[in-house]
C-alpha cells in the first residue's frame, strides 16, 4: 500500500454548489472532470500542474481561520476559489468569469 497522500475534496460549500449547478451542462462536466483529476494528485502536483495554474489571491479576504485563498483553473473559462486544509482542498466557489475569481468585475 502506497504512503502517498492524494488531495481530498470538500465540495460542501453552498456557494460552490450553487455556482456549479448554474453552469451549462458542458461546462459543469468539464469542472467535474477537473475535480476528479485533482483527487488523483498530490499537493505538490497541484501546486505545479500547468493546467491548474494554482495561485494565491490577494484581493479576496479569506474566511476566519484561513491563511490564504487560492484560485485554480477548472476549464478554459472557469476558475475556482478554495484553500488547503490538511489533505483537503476546501472548494468555495466556481467562477465562470475569470475577473470574478479575483474579487473584481
Please state the domain extents for the chain.
8-100
What's the pLDDT tens digit per position in 18-70? 999 999 999 999 999 999 999 999 999 999 999 999 999 999 889 899 999 99
3-state SS of 20-78 is: HHCCCHHHHHHHHHHHHHHCCCCHHHHHHCCCCCCEEECCCCCCCCCCCEEEEECCCCC
Would you say residue 98 has pLDDT above 90?
no
CATH fold for the domain made of 8-100: YaeB-like fold (3.30.2310)
Neighbours of 51 (CB within 10 A): 10
The whole-number pLDDT of residue 99 equals 47
User: What is this structure's pTM?
Assistant: 0.85
Amino acid at each position: 500500500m502506497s504512503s502517498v497522500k492524494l488531495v481530498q475534496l470538500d465540495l460542501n460549500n453552498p456557494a460552490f454548489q450553487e455556482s456549479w449547478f448554474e453552469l451549462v451542462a458542458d461546462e459543469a462536466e468539464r469542472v467535474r472532470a477537473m475535480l476528479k483529476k485533482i483527487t488523483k494528485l498530490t499537493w505538490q502536483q497541484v501546486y505545479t500542474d500547468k493546467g491548474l495554474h494554482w495561485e494565491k489571491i490577494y484581493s479576496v479576504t479569506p474566511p476566519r481561520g484561513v491563511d490564504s485563498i487560492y484560485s485554480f483553473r477548472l476549464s478554459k473559462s472557469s476558475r475556482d476559489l478554495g484553500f488547503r486544509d490538511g489533505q483537503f482542498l476546501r472548494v468555495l466557489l466556481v467562477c465562470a468569469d475569470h475577473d470574478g475569481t479575483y474579487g473584481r468585475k
